[in-house]
Structure 1
Amino acid sequence: LLQFVGVEGFVTGILDLFPGTRYMRFQREIAVAICCLLCFIIDLSMVTQGGMYVFQLFDYYSASGMTLLWQALWECVVVAWVYGADRFMDDIARMIGYRPFPWIKWCWSFITPCVCMGIFIFHLLNYKPLTYNNVYVYPWWGEVIGWCLALSSMLCIPVSLVYKLSGAKGTFRERWDNLTKPVWGNHHLEYMAPDTDIKSLASLSPGTEENKVIIFESVM
């Protein structure tokens, strides 16, 4: 199941980058086949006699540690400070029927980013060369490959930010304000249930009146 989720998430992101191909016949099936074939070819190196060394390199640099902390940090920043923690809590209230407790918003905005940044810095300061079973020390070119794997994910965020800022118009402040404003607005209301097909429901939250909201549920 985890493999299905990983492939589907990757393929969906790639296809969204090329919206003009959505009408191509079997475009999703072809993309999934190419993705699985490439993963199969890469993974062949991990079933050889020295495959455990390759697996250790991938696991240490590309799938854990600094990479996940870096991505979690920016995910919290984007949700809490760009899209807006209050707006995100309103979206959750529409889905689950009540507004989450305020401490969750504090976690998104302050606690989780600070914890991720602290662990990330601590990890950098205490970095040690990768070893296997505390015996085999990877050569310098193995370290280079590992850091390339890590930076291939970590640099996506700052590189995308610089690319968007350089391609926007206006002063730096105008470009920054335009890029950090959520695009959800009146032009997206077609994705919500029409007024004739909805009914209001009281919040199921056990908190005070301030924590209660009115949500909408389709009766269709």
Structure 2
Amino acid sequence: MAHEKGVSVEKVVTQGPGLTFVTYPEAISRLPLSPLWAVLFYLMLLTVAIDSQFGFVETINASLIDEFPKFLRHRTKTLSALLCLLKFILGIPLVMQGGIYVFQIMDWYCALLSLMIFSLIECIVIGWIYGVDRFYTDIEMMIGYKPCIMWSICWKYITPCLLVLMLAFNMLTVTPVSYKAYTYPSWAIGIGWIIGLISLIPIPVCFSMSLWRLEGTLKQRLKEKMKASPNWRPQLDAFKGTFDSVTLLQKKELEDMI
């Protein structure tokens, strides 16, 4: 394709919608039985989109239900319908004439920092604060056996190091958002950074609020917050006995080692 057009490869293979709806279809059209591959390709896109929507809706749905169980536990269908309606309304500007420019800002900055920072925080919390051993106990209670030790090494060392390297590389190579020949104004770039960072704001805010409710010095409060809750148990009574037996077995093995 690049040879036929007389341009470099990077000008043919673009990111974003152009890759999906321009480059891939043109490449598929050159294959044998191209109509079949085109149908399969767009069917794959449809199923991926539907599957992604399940994750987007259920993440917010489950969070709200866990936060307000008495009010929302028996209204899951209504909540899901309202969330889908709200997301549909919010998505309308993205399909208008200038929607591609809004989409480009969101796509440029949302994936730049927030996803990697979220993943890094999860690795730190699970691997070092909550503890891999406790997490292994939870998994053993659910599936009946402990995962391979390689997962522990990945969660504690390999994945955080890779995320830090990727985050540093992105910050060093970041460029202002652009779309084709259009250069965004400064205020649009500022909005992009706000959109990208706004999902991270609840983490320091909620952590600060939880520290504020405790008593003692800052060091004592931080130490208290770094401890796992002694009342941590499965919510369903049917699984509490299994969790307790696994925990007691783990404690006995630790005592035998000592």
Amino acid at match of 1:85: V
- The separation in 2 between residues aligned to 1:70 and 1:186, in whole angstroms, is 26
The equivalent of 1:102 in structure 2 is: 149
- In the alignment, what sits opposite 2:206? 160
- What letter is aligned with 2:133? D
* Structure 1 unaligned blocks of 5 or more: 199-209, 211-220
The 1:169–1:20 alpha-carbon spacing in structure 2 relative to 1, beyond 3 Å, is: farther
Please tell me whether residue 31 in structure 1 is matched to residue 79 in structure 2.
yes
The answer as to 2:163 corresponding to 1:113 is no
Structure 2: how far apart are the matches of 1:105 and 1:147? 34
Paired residue total = 193
**Identity of aligned pairs, percent?**
36
CA contact (8 A) 2:233 2:240 kept: no
Please, which of 47, 52, 56 is the counterpart of residue 2 of structure 1?
52
Q: Which residue of 1 aligns with 2:225?
A: 179
2:188 to 132, 136, 142: 142
Runs of 4+ in 1 over 4 A off after TM superposition: 186-189
Structure 1 distance, partners of 2:94, 2:138, is 43
Shift of 1:191: 4.9
Highest RCO, 1 vs 2 (Cα 8 Å, sep ≥ 6): 1
Q: Is the 8 A contact 2:106 2:192 kept in 1?
A: yes
CA 1:191–1:144: 2 relative to 1, 3 Å: farther
TM-score of the aligned structures, taking structure 2 as reference length: 0.67
Higher helix proportion, which one?
A: 2
Picking from 114, 117, 127, the partner of 2:174 is: 127
1:213 corresponds in structure 2 to none
Q: Which amino acid aligns with 1:67?
A: S
Aligned to 2:90: 42
Which stretch shows the higher mean deviation, 72-81 or 140-149? 140-149
Distance 1:58 1:118 in 2: 23
Alpha-carbon separation, structure 2, partners of 1:186 and 1:94: 13
Q: More strand per residue: 1 or 2? A: 1
- Supply the distance in 2 between the matched residues of 1:147 and 1:176 (Cα, whole angstroms): 30
Q: Give the aligned CA root-mean-square deviation in angstroms.
A: 2.5
Structure of larger gyration radius: 2
AA at the equivalent of 1:108: W
The residue matched to 2:199 in structure 1 has which SS? helix
Q: Residues 131 and 49 from structure 1, CA distance in 2 versus in 1: closer, same or farther, beyond 3 angstroms? A: same
2:95 alignment partner AA: V
* Secondary structure of the corresponding residue to residue 216 of structure 2: coil
Q: Secondary structure at the match of 1:3?
A: helix
Give the C-alpha shift of residue 194 in structure 1.
4.2
Range 163-172 or range 146-155, more displaced: 163-172
